């Protein structure tokens, strides 16, 4: 499978009479966008705001982030099962508005949504302080049940992202990136002498608004399976979950998965990138046993020497992470784990809910319980009162002057377990 990403770099957003891109400026026809979104009768109103890096602006509660993309050439359409048909994607040419994002906000039944600060200390922890954001603020129609709104908001965010990119099809790309994923017979015999490395990609699927979708199918209903990394870049996997904002994999992060990008960067040099296995994070012991055994079986069938395993969420999914680890290690496959920590505000508590002796190679994305004070902002989009009920907030978190004290857990993408965050480390 061969995929070209045609990237238009967006550095500024403006309102205009038509939607399109020119000289790195994305112009948005607000009325046209709103009218399209209000075709969904579950929405009473949609307010659209434009927000830039460095502004004194705060967005909360933020649910999902989506990078604008659409197909230029090839089978299917991005976000299959939601925008396009369920045809296989990951081939042909895809247009990307790099540097832009669609952020969604509005009332949901779940409290686990996040904060995006565009400036100040909070901006240092969220990657979406660096994107030019088209923010959709939703007001549901009367009578729509709260638990149904997640799907309504998810569809609207994807539609908006696809619309923005589709209006820019005639614009010449600033850069073109090419990615190839050959048939397995070729991949297995390529680069003799280099270790074969696979990627075990854990998807949040605990249910009760803790869902991820693969070609429109709820991931908790699947067995672990192989997927081309190029399919991921075309939106085959999208976020439908309301887990803690710090480590949820937003749709934007799936599209730009840095684990996949790094494996591609090392492919043919240090490793032979053999493929991606997606698996779920269900809640029963039987489901965990089934999925971990099946995922490791696929890894053995690929003949990989090593697996990179990334988690999504914490607590219950820690058991899946560790089960995947020790089963792979005991099958002779070396593992590296990517997770974050809930080690208490002082960092002295147990970082994970489970562990095993085999889990001796682990990359941490940071301690989500660490406290931060966010100063007041001149512009607040959404509902600041939710700071006291979202995960990482607490009663009294919101102060009279508009500042707030929260854990990093409340900041969108702060300790993302794909590594798509602004926390990093280096050896001195």
242 counts as catalytic: yes
CB contact set of 127 (below 8 Å; sequence gap of 6+)? 413, 416, 420, 421, 422
The residue from 62, 242, 246, 325 that is catalytic is 242
Active-site annotation, residues: 242
């Amino acid at each position: 499978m061969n995929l070209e990403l045609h990237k238009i770099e967006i550095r500024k957003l403006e309102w205009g009479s038509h939607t399109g891109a020119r000289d790195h400026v994305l112009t948005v026809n607000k009325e046209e966008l709103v009218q399209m979104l209000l075709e969904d009768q579950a929405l009473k109103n949609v307010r659209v705001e434009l927000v830039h890096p460095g502004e004194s602006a705060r967005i909360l509660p933020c649910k999902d982030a989506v990078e604008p993309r659409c197909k230029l050439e090839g089978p299917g359409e991005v976000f299959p099962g939601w925008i396009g048909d369920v045809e296989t994607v990951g081939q042909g040419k895809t247009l990307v508005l790099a540097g832009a994002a669609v952020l969604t906000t509005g009332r949901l039944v779940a409290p686990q949504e996040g904060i995006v600060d565009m400036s100040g200390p909070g901006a240092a922890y969220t990657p979406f302080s660096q994107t030019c954001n088209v923010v959709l603020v939703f007001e549901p129609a009367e009578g729509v049940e709260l638990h149904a709104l997640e799907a309504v908001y998810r569809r609207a965010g994807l539609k908006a992202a696809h619309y923005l990119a589709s209006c820019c099809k005639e614009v010449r790309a600033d850069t073109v990136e090419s990615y190839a994923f050959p048939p397995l017979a070729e991949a297995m015999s390529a680069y003799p002498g280099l270790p074969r490395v696979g990627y075990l990609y854990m998807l949040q699927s605990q249910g009760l608004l803790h869902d991820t979708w693969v070609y429109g199918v709820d991931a908790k209903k699947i067995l672990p399976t192989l997927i081309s990394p190029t399919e991921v870049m075309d939106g085959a996997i999208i976020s439908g979950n309301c887990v803690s904002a710090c480590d949820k994999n937003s749709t934007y992060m799936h599209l730009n998965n840095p684990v996949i990008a790094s494996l591609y960067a090392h492919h043919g040099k240090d490793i032979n990138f053999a493929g991606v296995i997606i698996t779920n994070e269900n809640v029963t012991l039987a489901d965990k046993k089934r999925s971990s055994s099946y995922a490791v079986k696929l890894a053995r069938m690929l003949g990989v020497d090593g697996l990179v395993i990334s988690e999504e969420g914490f607590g219950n999914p820690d058991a899946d992470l560790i089960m995947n680890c020790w089963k792979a290690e005991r099958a002779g496959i070396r593992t590296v784990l990517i997770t974050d920590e809930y080690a208490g505000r002082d960092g002295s508590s147990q970082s994970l809910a489970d562990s095993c002796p085999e889990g001796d190679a682990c990359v941490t994305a940071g301690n989500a319980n660490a406290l931060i004070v966010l100063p007041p902002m001149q512009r607040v989009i959404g509902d600041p009162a939710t700071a006291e009920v979202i995960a990482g907030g607490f009663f009294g978190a919101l102060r009279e002057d508009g500042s707030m004290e929260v854990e990093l857990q409340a900041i969108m993408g702060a300790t993302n377990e794909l590594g798509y965050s602004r926390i990093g480390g280096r050896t001195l």
